[in-house]
């Protein structure tokens, strides 16, 4: 996504929507939201610092977006499915037989053209974060994760590193150095569990998305927490945004305008800062 081209458009749109925010000629979904008076925002459960027990960055951002549109907010927490396509189906365009109708907008969706093409029933837009892979480490024992993985990660043939199971970090570490690190990879059910093991000296490092590490270790000064700049690591960063139904163009436009205002005002960065996370925009 070329943000340098996208931002002026969003700011112009925000100016047009400044008065009422909700377009006069609204699509059916937007009209229904306006009559209801509240915006239903879907966020993942058990995903700190973004959304956990009704709190977190995505929760606060959803609240701020609704307020910009002159609406109340209804936060809908849900558990991740087998893959994100399932999540979009259940929470954005179809609904779930147990959960009922979908939400109006889902947070923390990858803004990626290949993923978007594979999920054409949803409209994906509104990048509000660029996430990167990170590492939290005991600096006296583990070198900075930069350069060639074969060199930077060789230390984990002797030291233990924690990861959340079945994630990009898990797959990457298990595959580098011809699998020589596998015996020293400790698997946890969550990043929170892995960072707790780091605090207890059960592992010497944790590899996970940097925002999750920053949130889990906010205020902790014993560890170095930084981006993993490893040549073999792919993807090195990924954009995070929102999704609505494919035919909800007016809703997407209204949310894009509201997001642009919140970004320009510094509200988005302030929300991230309150949770100990650095907002990366590019």
Q: What is the pLDDT of residue 82?
A: 84
Instruction: State residue 22's pLDDT score.
Output: 42
The CATH number of the structural domain formed by 131-230 is: 3.40.190.10
Per-residue pLDDT of the chain (282 residues; tens, 9 = 90+): 444 343 333 333 333 333 334 444 446 788 899 999 999 999 999 999 999 999 999 999 999 999 999 999 999 999 998 889 999 999 999 987 666 789 999 999 999 999 999 999 999 999 999 999 999 999 999 999 999 999 999 999 999 999 999 999 999 999 999 999 999 999 999 999 999 999 999 999 999 999 999 999 999 999 999 999 999 999 989 999 999 999 999 999 999 999 999 999 999 999 999 999 999 976
Domain ranges for the chain, please list them.
Answer: 3-129+239-274, 131-230
pLDDT of 14: 39
Do the domains 131-230 and 3-129+239-274 match in fold? Answer: yes
pTM: 0.87
Which pair of tokens denotes residue 44? Answer: 């993942």
What confidence tens digit (pLDDT) does each residue in 133-154 have? 999 999 999 999 999 999 999 9
The topology under which CATH files domain 3-129+239-274 is D-Maltodextrin-Binding Protein; domain 2 (3.40.190)
């Amino acid at each position: 996504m070329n943000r340098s081209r996208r931002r002026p458009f969003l700011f112009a749109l925000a100016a047009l929507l400044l008065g009422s925010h909700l377009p006069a000629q609204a699509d059916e979904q937007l009209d229904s939201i306006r009559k209801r008076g509240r915006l239903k925002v879907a966020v993942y459960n058990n995903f700190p610092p973004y959304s956990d027990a009704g709190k977190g960055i995505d929760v606060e951002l959803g609240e701020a977006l609704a307020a910009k549109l002159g609406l109340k907010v209804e936060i809908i927490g849900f558990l991740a499915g087998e893959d994100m396509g399932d999540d979009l189906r259940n929470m954005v365009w179809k609904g779930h037989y147990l959960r009922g109708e979908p939400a109006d907008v889902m947070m923390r969706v990858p803004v990626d053209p290949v993923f978007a093409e594979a999920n054409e029933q949803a409209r994906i837009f509104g990048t509000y974060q660029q996430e990167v892979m990170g590492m939290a480490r005991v600096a006296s024992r583990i070198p900075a994760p930069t350069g060639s993985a074969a060199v930077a990660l060789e230390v984990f043939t002797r030291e233990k590193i924690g990861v959340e199971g079945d994630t990009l970090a898990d797959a990457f570490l298990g595959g580098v150095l011809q699998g020589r690190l596998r015996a020293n990879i400790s698997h946890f059910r969550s990043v929170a569990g892995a960072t707790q093991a780091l605090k207890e000296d059960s592992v010497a490092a944790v590899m996970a998305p940097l925002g999750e590490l920053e949130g889990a270790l906010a205020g902790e000064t014993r560890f170095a927490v930084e981006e993993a700049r490893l040549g073999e690591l792919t993807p090195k960063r990924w954009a995070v945004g929102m999704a609505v139904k494919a035919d909800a163009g007016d809703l997407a436009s209204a949310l894009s305008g509201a997001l642009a205002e919140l970004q320009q005002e510094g509200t988005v960065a302030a929300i991230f800062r309150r949770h100990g996370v650095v907002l990366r925009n590019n």
